[in-house]
Each structure stands twice: as structure tokens, then as C-alpha cells.
Structure 1
Amino acid sequence: MRLIDYFRRGMLSAPERTAFVDADGQGAYTYAQVNELAERVAAGLHAAGNAAANVAVYSPNDPKAFCAMIGIFRAGGRWVPINMRNPVHVNAAFLRTTKCSLLFFHPSLNEQVKELREAVPTLQHLVCIGEPMEQGVGIGLDEFMERAADPAPEPEDDPNRVETIFPTGGTTGLSKAAMWTQRTWGSAIKAFWTCLPTDRPAVHLVAAPMTHGAGVVGLMMMAEGATNVVLPSANALGILEAIQRHKATHFYIPPTVLYSMLAHPRVREFDYSSLRAIVLAASPVAPAKFKEAMDVFGPVMCQSFGQAEAPMFLTFLSTRDLLNAPEGSDRWSSCGRPTLGQRVEIMDDDGNLLAPGGRGEIVARGDLVFRGYYENPEATAEVSRFGWHHTGDIGYKDDRGFTYIVDRKKDMIVTGGFNVFSAEVEHVIAGHPCVEDCAVVGVPDQKWGEAVKAVIQLKPSMQATEEEIIQLVKSTLGSVHAPKSVDFVASLPRSPNGKVLKREIRDKFWEGVERRVG
């Protein structure tokens, strides 16, 4: 099925149900209204010769921006997500990589669009989705749609047809472009509803940027006619208030946002009884924080593993998996088991699949694995060695098939000849009651080659010492894993979608050093 078919399924089940609404209850669109607007957007794309083109949406979280996305799918175009929190030069680089020909944009981004217009030669059309529109910066959405005399023809129905070109990064300007096909989307939507069925109409909070996991989950949920409450940002208090106000049932957030919610002094003041699932993804979650969240929000916590090349629900760790874990189990550290139709294994550097307990790179096969990088066959071949998709994550599986991520390959620390997986150390430090979030990196050391360093963001008004952090890790994991030094910072650097920028932290310590390992 095409992605527009999943939307239509939800629309036909409840045409008058609200599809999108903003946090204060304004700007609402029913499914029928979204369908009407999407038809007109698609007709405009067809009239402009961009029906099957690469089309970007550049906007803060906004209900109308979602409607534009549905219009792209209805036309048969390929949605290119552009994060407004990225620097302009980063977005320009991705637009050039994907050869985007049309950009839908929010009027709050007029100045940035002027820069993009100059930096991206392939952009033929700029369409403003709201008011006020600045004269000379593209055309308004109504004018764009009114130029169409006829409806857009139905898009081709082909499982291998590309519907989305997703950025793999977004902080360096060198992001590759992962192609998601009809098959990719269909597998993701089926996995979502297989893992997270609900007994009543779902209300989904779009809390994180709609250009990343929150938007993807929102599109997945429309197949069952879910209402999407579109929050302006992943603000901790805003999310807590929205759960109660809108009786939210589902939402996705990265662990860093969960940590900020748990650290908020008012976290236990709100009614969370409507919740059915809080889905964590984007990076491993610290077990101590995971358990705390289950206590605060109820038996609704779950976790998924995926990436731009093999999206969310490649694996899934359900609430039931956690509640039924054997006594003393390490399952709170797991990202779950492969979902139906996916294979996830552990591979060594020679292409051999490893037995349970063996540590190596996590690899995957299945319909969720992307088609390849847009016009980049060399990079596609590099991540497809031995006939498997290589995730770049190091992990292992237990004898029940649960997968555990211990680090990114590039983040592994080699200290004194021993491998230290930074994620394992971070999970221990995150269990300290005063710690909100942390990053563990390797820094240059004359004796050890690399030394383990912890950089920690404490909860508001909380205090901790270097000595107690070091002792906590030493008593849990041993002296090799214990940080040799600890820095406390007001806030950790983060990417536009909330992930801690470990590379930025690490690079600061390696300036002028030729070798990373002694």
C-alpha cells in the first residue's frame, strides 16, 4: 500500500475526527479537511510539474505543515524532512544532496528561506503555508493551489517506489539521504500497530520535531484515525500539561527529553491515567531512568530501536517484557526483540553471525531496511556488506533473543588496551539521583592512550562530586570503566532533535592531537 492509502484508511474510519490540532486547541483540522487540503496541494504539485519530485517541508511543528506532507504523498512525491533547528547551511547541503525542486515553508522562516533560495540551485518553487507572507519570498499556498485546473492523478502503487528521503544526521552538513519506499513505510506502520494496539481512539502528542521520530509516528498512527496534538517544542512542562489536557494516549520522545521531564519539579502533579504508551527511541535509555519513568507515568513505558536506514520498530521492548522480566534480569538495558518480518543479529568484522552473548555490530535484514542512499551507491554498499544492513551500533543478544546496545562503534573507548563501551558507563552514572543526563567520552592520556571522562548535567538545584561519580562506576563496572575525570556542566550540547552531541564534547579534548589512541 501507498502511504496515502494508510491515511485514507484512517480518514474513512472517522472523517470528522480531529486529525491535527495545536497545543492550545486551535488550528484544528478534521480528517476530511486534511483530505480536501491534501488533494488541492497534490493538484498544485501536479500543475507545477513536481508531482513525483523531491519536495521539502520546512516548518516548526505545525498542523498545516502536516497537511502539506499528506499532499506530497497524495501527489506521489517524495517528502524531504528539513529541521528548522538546523543551521541554514546544513539544510542547504541536504536540499542540494536530494536535489529538491520545491519547498513548503512556514512564514516564521522567511529570512532562512531567502538564504536557501541562493544556496540551492535546484529549488524552482517556494510556497509559504501561512501568514504573514513576505512579498517576494515565494508564493502563498492558496495561490499555489489555485493554479491547478485538474486533480492530480493517482500516484503509482509500487512497493519499491520511494516516498521519503530521510536525513541520516543533521549537525555536520554531510548527512546522507536514506530512501524509504512504500514497503518501508508499510512495514513500519504494521509493526507499530502490532506492537501497540489500543482499545480506544488514540491521541498522539507530536512533542519532538515532526521532521524526525515524532512526525514519523504521527504518520504511522493515522492509519487508525488517531488525533495528533502538535506541540511547539519538546518542553518538559508543556508535555506534562498536554498529557493531562488532551488525555494523550501515545507519544514518542528521545531519552534526553524523558530525563528532563523526570527532573521537572512538577512531574508528579499531573494526571497520566490516559496514557497507553510512551515510546523511547533515538538512543539507549538508562535503566534507572526507565524504572523511574515506569513509576511516575505508570505501566506504559516501552522502547524501540531504529535509525534513518531502518526506522523505528526494527526491535521493540514492550511494557509487558519489562514487567515479566525474570528477577535480576538485565532486560531494562535491552532495546527489545526484532519485530515481525525483521531479522536482527550480531556480526563480527569478518561477516560471521555471533552466538548469544557475543559482542559485535548489530546488523539487520527485512522490509524495514531502507532501499539505499539517494544517488550514493558507494555509501550504500559500505553499509550493506555481507548482505546485511550494518547499523554502526555494537551490541549483543541474550538467549531469549533480546538485543542490547552497548555503544556506537565510533564511541568505543580503548583505554590501556581494554575496550570500554561508553553507553554502559552512562547508564550507571544516570542512575545517580542527582544526575539529569551525561555523556562519557575518551580523552587523550599519555599513560592509557585514552582515558574515560564523564561530562554531567545535574538536575536543577542538585549537587554531586567527582569522587562519588567515580566510585559509583568503579563499584558497579570495575576500575577500568571508572572515569578518570568528571566535568559538571550547566547543559550538554544537543542536536536539533535532542540527542547529546558526543562528537562535539569529544572533539574539544582532541584539538591538536594527531592520534586518538596511544
Structure 2
Amino acid sequence: MRVIDFFDRGAAIAPDREALVSAEHRLTYREVRRLTLRIAASLAARAGGNPDAVGTVAVWSPNHAMAFACLLGGLRAGGIWAPINARSHADDNIDFLATADCQRLFIHSSFAQHLPAIRAGVPTLQDVVCIDQRLDGVPSLDDVLAGAADAEARAPDLRPDPQRIAAYFPTGGTTGRSKAVTLTEQVWSALVAITHAAMPPVDHPVYLVAAPMTHAAGAMALPMLAAGAKVVIIDRADPLEVMQAIDREKVTDLFLPPTVIYGMLGHPRLRDFDYSSLKHFIYAASPMAPDKLAEAIRVFGPVMAQTYGQAEAPMLCTFLSPADHAAAAADPALAHRLASCGRPTLLARVAIMDDDGLLLPPGDRGEIVVRGDLVMAGYHKNPAATEEVSSHGWHHTGDVGWMDDDGYVYIVDRKKDMIITGGFNVYSAEVENVIQGHAAVQNCVVIGVPDPKWGEAVTAVVEPVPGATVTEDELIALCRSRLGPVKTPKSVLFEDHLPRSPVGKILKRAVRDRFWTGRDRLV
């Protein structure tokens, strides 16, 4: 199956149902399919009628229904989708366009000021189309559509090839230049199959895209479109706007990072909206504090679902179902599972490995590794990096975790974020979960900072709930009572806002770097 085939399935079973909804558009599946056929015909014509020459097709836009139609049209033409995060720095986006050998670019007019730098920095670029209006020397999407009126006859209908490259996803680039993750049609087929197996769609599903559509929120929209879902797109993951959209559109499924969910739980209008339509409230990117998760279940119902993955093995390596969440919240003997990211999914094999390539038994900590159809084909034009993360025949996630006797996986840290203090290993996620459970804590990170006695001193940096009060002594006492002296922070610092990535993930490395800059050693 090709990625576009899954959209076409949705169009076949629900042609007159709304497919893409945003502030200015409410488009049916029939309308979106025609749009994508016309976009694909135009791209094919610009590539001389050769689908293999369409190349990498990037979309640089805020969350927007027509932007989503452009990415679908690029996939239909045989192009390779390169998602560009509208919230990332322009220099980072231009660098990734060059890394991904971008040839065709759909851009929103709000980013038109970057076009000179894009043209200068991306030597492979051949075509630019503005999504929402005509620019000087750049045709609008309306211009392109007007020139493809007979699109159904001219749009390419390509033969499925499981190994054909369908997308280049960025790795994030928070610790250096972002790599281009090669995702094949096989990877996307696996993602769709796993999603439907783990979260069977309800009748008339409604999926909310609030986080950037260029990342997990957009990736999860593709399996939903295969079920004929209405995909509602809002421009940002603002807690109030998300709660209003759930109520207004009767959303059944959505994905959000934990930071946004914490903002919802702390919002004064949390109880003003109807959440009864929800079936799957998916969170990922980082674990949720068990206490906050239990609160979310009380507020939103037995609908919370956690997935674990990364760009190299997207979204659903493991899955903690709503039933798992509800059971853990109701039974003290199972409460520890709220700290888990779930069990391996249908088409992913997940294991724990030591530094010598030995798979470890339940209970032992090591690196989380993955095999299966969900794993990338490699990093584009970067064989050395590909080899590094593929040693011993497994994809290495860089995350430290362990698996219990029932197959539930627990993430305890990034491999490089482990704190060594006084000769003891401290996994920061354990400390963060305790602090995050305090009612006055909105978010926190736990890091090791240079210390002449301990080597690294466990330190918490806390973002309080607005208007709430909590003291350093109070949090230290909480940690000491729950974790013992070794894992208890030596100090607690407070900040109004922790730094975040463009997708809302807290940048722990950026916090840590403040304390280590200028040193010969970083541990």
C-alpha cells in the first residue's frame, strides 16, 4: 500500500463526509481527493511526466487544511514528503530542506520573507508554490489548480512498492544538525495497521490536530483518514483552544504532548467543557507523571492512551491502552503501570540491550531497541549515523528502560542524560515523576550539575503552576520520603517557563547546558 491509498480508502467509504476542517475550510473527502489529484498532476507535469523526478516535496506552513492537502498531493505524485515545522527557526528549516534535497516547496505566505534564504541555501530547489496567495514570482496554489482541471486523467497512479521512500522526517536537531530519517511505504503501512489494531476506529471518528501537523499529530492523522475520520486542524496546541475544539467538534481522538495536557489540567476552565465524545486521548514525546495521569483519567474518562516511538520508528513501538490505564488507576497493585509506556505493538519487536549487544531479562535496565516494519530504512546520505544506530541488528533508540515480567516497558531516561552522583546512577525521570506529582508543579526537569563533592549533584529545575506556591524544602522533603537520599535533589531552582522545542517538548539538554558550558568534560 502507498500512503495515499489509505486516504483514498477513507474517500471511498465516506466521500461526502468532512475530511479536513480548519478555521477557513470545511472540505469533504470528495473535495480533498480532487484537490490532491490536481496537485499531483501539476507536480508530475513540472517533473516532465516522470514520477521519479518529482523528488522531495516540502510543506512549510502553520497548521492549515490546504497545507495538509498539499502534502497528500505530493505523496500522490510520487514525491517524498519533507515536513517543515513552522515553529522551528528558519535557519534550521532551511538546513533540513538542503539535507533532504528538497525540489518542490509549498510555502505559506507568512514565511515568504525566507524565500531568498531558501533559494540560496537549497541548491536542489526547482519549484515554489504559495499555499494561500500569489507572491512576486511565485504562483499560488489556486494558479496551480487552475492549470490542472483535467487532473483525474493526468494524475499518476503509481504501482505500490513497500521499499519506496515516502518521507524524510527530521530528527529534531536539538543537539546538532537534524538528520533526515528515511521512512518507506512499508513503515507507513505498518503505522496504519498498528494504529487500527491498537485503537479500532469508532463510527464517524473525529481527530484533532493541535500539535504541529509536521510531527506526531500529523502522522497520526493518516491512519485516521483511512477510517474516514474528520480531521480538525487548529493552529496551535493552546489548552483552552483544545478544550473548546473537543467540545465543539465532538472529537473522538487526539494526540498531545504531556506539557499541553498539564496546561489543560491546570486551566481554570477545565470543567467548563464536555469531553464525553473522547475515545482515545493519546500522549507521547515524554512520560506523564503518574499522579497527573490519574487526574487526567478522572477528568477525561477512561480514554488515556500512551504511545512510544521516535522519528526513526514512528509513534507506536509500544502502546498503553485506555483499559491498561483504567485498570492501573483503579487497582493499587497495578498502579505502577501508569509509569509504563505500554507493551510492544503488533508489528514491532521491542527489547532491552546492554552495551555489548546482549538482550537483557525482565527487570534489568539497558537501552531500548526495536526491530520490525516500523523501523526506518536509515538516515538519508548518512551511512555512518545509520550504522551507529543499527548495531547488533536492532535500531537503538538512545532511551534507557526496562521491561517487567508482563512485557510492559518503562522508560527511565535518555541514555546520555543519566546522572552519576557519588558513584551511583540516578535516572532523572524517576525524580521528575515524583516532583511532577506535586499539585503546585506544572513541569520540571532533573539534571546533574557539576559538583566538587558528588561529581554531579542532582538538581531540579521547576516551573510552578501559575499562581501556586511551593518551596525548595517542600520538594526536597517529598523526594526524600519517596526516593531516599541518593536520588533526592541537592537543590531546587524555579523558573517561570522552561525552554521548549517547537513541538512543545521541554528541552532538558538546553537547561543542562547552562551549567556545563565551558568545561572540558560534560559529566
- Normalised to the residue count of structure 2, the TM-score between the two structures is 0.96
Equivalent in the alignment of 1:58: 60
Look up the match of 1:33: 31
Name the residue aligned to 2:241. Answer: 238
| Residue matched to 1:205 | 208
Kept after mapping to 1: 8 A contact 2:109/2:132: yes
Within 1, Cα distance between the matches of 2:511 and 2:202?
44
Whichever residue aligns with residue 135 of structure 2, its letter is E
* Matched AA of 1:503: R
Could you tell me how far apart the structure 1 residues matched to 2:121 and 2:481 are?
53
Give the conservation status (yes or no) of the 8 Å contact 1:306–1:312.
Answer: yes
Q: Which AA in structure 1 matches 2:76?
A: R
SS, match of residue 179 in structure 1 = strand
One-letter amino acid of the structure 2 residue matched with residue 497 of structure 1: V
Following superposition, the deviation at residue 153 of structure 1 comes to 2.1
C-alpha distance in 2 between matches for 1:414 and 1:156: 53
1:209-220 alignment runs, 5 A limit: 209-220=212-223
Hey, what does 2:293 align to over in structure 1? 290
Distance 1:170 1:33, change over 3 A: farther
User: C-alpha separation between the residues in 2 aligned to 1:35 and 1:127?
Assistant: 19
Query: Could you list the per-position Cα deviations for residues 294-315 of structure 1 after superposition, in whole angstroms to 9, with x for gaps in the alignment?
Result: 0111111010000000011111
Report the identity percentage.
53
Aligned residue number for residue 498 of structure 1: 504
Give, in whole Å, the separation in 1 of the partners of 2:67 and 2:238.
20
**Secondary structure of 2:317's aligned partner:** strand
Distance 2:287 2:361 in 1: 22
- CA separation in 1, counterparts of 2:522 and 2:126? 45
Q: What CA deviation, in whole Å up to 9, does each residue of 1:141-198 have, x standing for no partner?
A: 2333445576132123111111111011144561111111111001101111111113
Corresponding residue number in structure 2 for 1:327: 332
- 2:477 alignment counterpart: 471
Tell me the CA shift for residue 125 of structure 1.
Answer: 1.0
**Amino acid in the other structure paired with 1:395:** G
**Cα displacement string for residues 268-323 of structure 1 (whole angstroms, at most 9, x for unaligned residues):** 11110111010011111111111110011111101000000001111100011122
Instruction: Letter of the 1:81 partner, please give it.
Output: P
Aligned pair 1:449/2:455, yes or no? Answer: yes
Higher mean C-alpha displacement, 170-179 vs 435-444: 170-179
Q: Name segments (4+ residues, structure 1) moved above 6 Å.
A: none
Count of aligned positions? 513
Alpha carbons 1:76, 1:156 under 8 Å: kept: no
**Partner residue in 2 for 1:134:** 135
Q: What corresponds to 1:157 in structure 2?
A: 160
Name 2:105's counterpart in structure 1: 103
Offset at 1:411? 0.9
Tell me the CA shift for residue 501 of structure 1: 0.6
Aligned 8 A contact 2:171 2:180 in 1: yes
**2:64 counterpart letter in structure 1:** D
Per-residue CA deviations over 1:209-267 (Å, capped at 9, x if unaligned) read 00001101111210000001101100000001111011110000111111111111111
Amino acid across the alignment from 2:350: V
| Structure 2 counterpart SS, 1:335 | coil
What SS is found at the alignment partner of 1:256? helix
- In the alignment, is residue 363 of structure 1 matched against residue 369 of structure 2? yes
C-alpha distance in 1, partners of 2:274/2:85? 32
C-alpha distance in structure 2 between counterparts of 1:294 and 1:471, whole Å: 27
Q: Which shows bigger deviation, 114-123 or 264-273?
A: 114-123
Cα distance in 1 for residues equivalent to 2:66 and 2:108:
9
Q: Which amino acid aligns with 2:203?
A: R
- Aligned residue for 2:213, secondary structure, equals coil
Aligned AA for 2:136?
Answer: Q
Residues 297 and 326, structure 2, Cα contact 8 Å, conserved in 1: no
* CA RMSD after TM alignment: 1.3
**2:251 is the counterpart of 1:248:** yes
Task: Report whether the alignment pairs 1:486 with 2:492.
Answer: yes
**Equivalent runs, 1:422-441 vs 2, <5 Å:** 422-441=428-447
2:380 to 369, 374, 382: 374
State the alpha-carbon separation in 2 of the partners of residues 236 and 114 from structure 1: 35
Instruction: Give the SS at the match of 2:449.
Output: strand
CA distance in 2, matches of 1:271, 1:45: 43
Q: Is the 8 A contact 1:89 1:173 kept in 2?
A: no
**What secondary structure sits across from 2:333 in the alignment?**
coil
CA distance in 2, matches of 1:211, 1:174: 18
Q: Distance in 2 between the 1:437 and 1:126 partners?
A: 40
CA contact (8 A) 1:44 1:146 kept: no
Say if 2:279 is the partner of 1:276.
yes
Q: 2:181 aligns with which of 173, 178, 181?
A: 178
SS where residue 156 of structure 1 aligns?
coil
Quick check: 2:302–2:325 contact (8 Å CA) kept in 1?
Answer: no
1:411 aligned to 414, 417, 429, which one? 417
SS of equivalent residue, structure 2 residue 519 = coil
Structure 1: gaps spanning 5 or more residues: none
CA distance in 1, matches of 2:350, 2:98: 33
Aligned to 1:13: 13
Report the AA paired with residue 366 of structure 2.
Answer: G
**Structure-2 separation of matches of 1:277 and 1:342:** 21
Q: Against the structure 1 CA distance between its residues 113 and 172, is the aligned structure 2 distance closer, same or farther, given a 3 Å change threshold?
A: farther
One-letter amino acid of the structure 2 residue matched with residue 66 of structure 1: F
Q: How big is each residue's C-alpha offset from its partner over 1:51-83, in whole Å with a ceiling of 9 and x where there is no partner?
A: 441110000000000100110111111100000
CA distance in 1, matches of 2:508, 2:423: 22
Report the Cα offset of residue 199 of structure 1: 3.1
Question: Alignment partner of 2:463: what SS?
Answer: strand
